[in-house]
Each structure stands twice: as C-alpha cells, then as structure tokens.
Amino acid sequence: MAVGIFDSGLGGLTVLDAVSERLPDVPFVYFGDNKHAPYGVRDADDVYNLTCAATERLWEAGCDLVILACNTASAAALRRMQESWIPRDKRVLGVFVPLIEALTERQWGDNSPPREVAVKHVALFATPATVRSRAFQRELAFRAIGVDVEAQACGGLVDAIEEGDMILAEALVHSHVDALKRKMPDPEAVILGCTHYPLMQEVFQEALGPEVSVYSQANLVAESLSDYLQRHPDMMGPGMESGFLTTGNPLKVSQNATQFLRRKITFDAA
C-alpha cells in the first residue's frame, strides 16, 4: 500500500512530512535524486529522463502511485510522461494542480470552463527550469481567466537550502523578491513554486509584506492526496515498508536531511 514521493533533492521532504501527518497509516517511500540535483538548471529532456528513471525505481519499491514532489519535474516532465510513458496500472501526479485549485478556489476535479477569480496579480517564485516551462501559466489558464502572472527564477536558492546555508538563502530570497517587485510592484498572491521554498516562507512573507497571500504546497498536496486515495483505493501499491532512497552518498544525504527536517533521517542507496 506504499506511495512514492520523488524529488531531485531534499525539498520534497516538506511534502513527505505533510502527507505522513495527514495519512499516518500509509507507508511512504521517498526517493531523492541527489546525485543529479538540482534539476532547476537542467534542460527538459534531461529532467524527463531522470524523472522517468526515478519513477521506475519507486515502482520497483512497490509504489504504484508516485507523487512528483518536485516542481521542476512536474513542470518539465509530467505531461510528457502521462501522454506517452506511464502504464495503465500506474499513476504519477504532480504538485501544481492542488496549488492552482486553492488559488482559484476550485474543488478537486472541478473541470468546468475557466472563469474569472478574485486574484488578478500573481507572482511565481520557482527554479529557472520551472519558469522556462510555463507549466504553471498553462495549468492556471485551464481554470482561470484574467490573471496576470509574473514569474521570477530563483537561481541559487535551492543550492543554498540544500547546503544548509540559511544566511545565503535569506539574502537570495530578498534579492529575488526585489527583482520581482521591479516587474510587479503589488502582487496580491505569491506562489512558492518549489518544495524547498516553504523552509523560507517566513522570509518570503517578510520581504513581500503582510498584505500578500503566500501559497506553498505541502499541506495542499497532502489534502489532495488524501482525497485521491479515497476515490482511488486501487492505486495503493503492494509495498508495505516506508523508506528513504538516494542516488547520492547515503551518509551525506542522511546528515543533510536530518538537519533539513530537524529529526533523524536515514537514507539507503537507491
């Protein structure tokens, strides 16, 4: 009954924590492709190939359902995977749609035509690859009209967070917010379009100001997954054990993950 959680690095652990709290009886297998992180600077074909390889490894671990807790993979690879690669008895879901449904105040599965929504000016902070893909804008256009989206590529932020350099990470957040505000001075809502960024949510909020609504993904994905599994219990895979897998050095990744989540995490080699 295991479910797979995939990220290029450690950011998806924010999603893992949220889904584990929401679904305590479900075993989760986390796969971090730390050897090839970060994905945000890679081209779309590279991200696609790496994401497929990681997904296959999670299928091998008994996870018929895999959550791409990586915005870059969701943006650059998911649609192509769903259209031509994923077998009928497997599912791979991304992290964009729950966020957009919350932003546009839609219920899960509401496929009615796009309509005007309350929010008109939205800022997106994401990796360079996610920004290039325009996947957020494409998914938003399916659900809402008349929304102006300004995207800001946050180069260097994932690397700083992964290395635990929070002083650099905080400086980068302020720099990227300043750059965004030069293009969109008064955003009404902000999307933290990377699963690493919730760790810096307070810094983003401080830099943006209290009047700006900041959306991050972990809890929204957890609620969406809970709803999905209630409607599709057949997608619970045969795996029964939780675990952590990495393509990187298990000892180093375990140390970084333990610092990242402030609790003991032990990774095994994938």
> pLDDT tens across 46-104, in order?
999 999 999 999 999 999 999 999 999 999 999 999 999 999 999 999 988 888 888 88
* Model confidence pLDDT, tens digit, residues 166-204: 999 999 999 999 999 999 999 999 999 998 998 899 999
Do 16 and 67 lie in a common domain? Answer: yes
Same domain, 110 and 203: yes
For residues 92 and 222, membership in a common domain is answered with yes
Find where tokens 């897998």 sit: 245
Q: Which residues are catalytic, by number? A: 70, 194
For the chain, the average pLDDT equals 93
Same-domain check for residues 13 and 113? no
- Interior angle at CA 44, CA 34 and CA 63, nearest 5: 55
User: What's the pLDDT tens digit per position in 230-251?
Assistant: 998 888 888 889 999 999 999 9
Q: What is the CATH number of the domain that holds 78?
A: 3.40.50.1860
What is each CA distance from 156 to 74, 83, 125, in whole angstroms?
20, 32, 12
11 contacts 127 by C-beta, under 8 angstroms: no
Residue 254's domain spans which residues? 3-96+218-269
Question: What's residue 10's pLDDT?
Answer: 92
The whole-model pTM stands at 0.88
Q: What are the angstrom distances between the C-alpha of 118 and each of 106, 125, 185?
A: 12, 20, 18
